[in-house]
Amino acid sequence: MKQAANTAARRVLALEAMDALVAALAARGYRVLGPTLRDGVVVYDEIDSAARLPAGWTDEQGPGRYRLRRGPDGALFSCRPGAASWKRFLHPPEVTLCRVRRQGRSFTVEPVSSPAKPLALVGARPCELAAIAIQDRVLTEGPFTDPGYAARRRDLFVVAAECTEAGATCFCASLGTGPRASSGFDVALTEAGRNGGRVLLARAGSERGRAVLEALPSRAATAEEVAVAEAALDRATREQDAVPGTEARDTLAGRYADGRWEAIAQRCLGCASCTLVCPTCFCTTVEDTCSLDGAEAVRTRRWDSCFTPEFSHVHGGSVRASLAGRWRHWFLHKFVTWPEQFGTPGCVGCGRCVTWCPAGIDIREELRALSAGAPQGGVA
């Protein structure tokens, strides 16, 4: 049923279509971003043509492990997300909030706005679309909004790339965020059929996506091509390690006193890598700097992490003084309190925190252990 509908909507892009797509977006005034290789990893950066995409590369990921290697064919989207997420463009690591200038004994405040070109994301994974939707909820649907984020989001053009191969740390399927893209895109691509029979299927997810797609060299997809793509997506679903989904929330909520937090803290370095690579983490802090002559001050918003000891600092010390307490806070925020705050889970199963943890702490393992069995002794 769903496949039939997809067949009707699906096109197969010609080989030169990706260059045409990038050009079309640039012509519409977008700053086009996509995955590209740098320093042995895949990063998201400006691309001016499809040649920048990591064609022919794939990755091996595991807890605390990431390697790029040559893939078996020239697939464009065989590289799964690396450390960086689209977060660094939509919710930037550093934003100047205002400049403050002394005027006698008083001062004036000048907001800083940097009008920027609208962004187009090429190759956004379904888990990343889910992460963007989650950040939308946090940053634009509460009683207060982040106007910078809202502006960047409003004009965003998204070309999604579904995942026909699961990474070893991926668990999107258990959280319902992939490997298929269901919403949040203007165009969705599915690269299927390997080793010579590779095709790039495309479908529109919005009116402007349809307009862009129509202008690209393509032909209708055959039922067989769609079936191959769907089979690959099914396989990518099956390949993943299963973790408990939202049904585990109540169990986890009762685990504040578990002794496992302390055991995890023995391994954790408190390096905050997990929060830096996480596409949903949104915490920020504000830094104040002042010119040497005291005439001008700048307020800058920066990414922050709940793993820092100062994160919960009030006069006299920090509320979360122990690493175990901070790790517990991060984990239970993702799976217990975030849903209570925002009505969605705080995790999309992208696996970055597993791959990029230098201690190899695997959130899937902890999820399974903490949502099963009886609590181990510990202090709440």
Count of residues binding other proteins (CB under 8 A)?
57
The answer to the question of residue 198 lying near other proteins (CB under 8 A) is: no
Please identify, using beta-carbon distances, which residue of 27 and 292 lies nearer to other proteins.
Answer: 292
Residues 298-337 close enough to bind other proteins by CB under 8 A: 299, 301, 304, 306, 311-322, 325-326, 328-329, 333, 336-337
What is the Cα gyration radius of the chain? 22
- Judge whether 279 and 350 are in contact, CB under 8 Å: yes
373: contact with other proteins by CB under 8 A: no
How many whole angstroms separate alpha carbon 178 and alpha carbon 174? 9
Rounded to 5 degrees, φ, ψ at 157 are -110, 130
Q: Give the nearest distance from C-beta 211 to other proteins in angstroms.
A: 31
- Contacts of other proteins in 81-140 (CB under 8 A): 97-98, 100, 102, 105-109, 111, 138-140
Interface residues for other proteins in 139-158 (CB under 8 A)?
139-140, 142-147
Q: Name residue 13's beta-bridge partners.
A: 218
Q: Using CB under 8 A, which of 51, 215, 288, 358 touches other proteins?
A: 288
| Minimal distance, residue 308 CB to other proteins, in Å | 10
Q: Residue 56 or 378: which CB sits closer to other proteins?
A: 378
The interface mask with other proteins, positions 4-33, x = CB under 8 A, is: ------------------------------
Name the residue nearer to other proteins (CB basis): 190 or 284.
284
Q: Which two tokens stand for residue 166?
A: 């699961």
Sequence-separated contacts (24+) of 85-88 with Cβ below 8 Å: 85/44, 85/128, 85/131, 85/277, 85/278, 85/279, 85/350, 85/352, 86/33, 86/44, 86/121, 86/124, 86/128, 86/131, 86/132, 86/279, 87/131, 87/135, 87/279, 87/281, 88/44
Placement of tokens 């064609």 in the chain: 55
DSSP, res 343? S
Residues that bind other proteins (CB under 8 A): 97-98, 100, 102, 105-109, 111, 138-140, 142-147, 256, 282-286, 288-290, 294, 297, 299, 301, 304, 306, 311-322, 325-326, 328-329, 333, 336-337, 340-341, 379-380
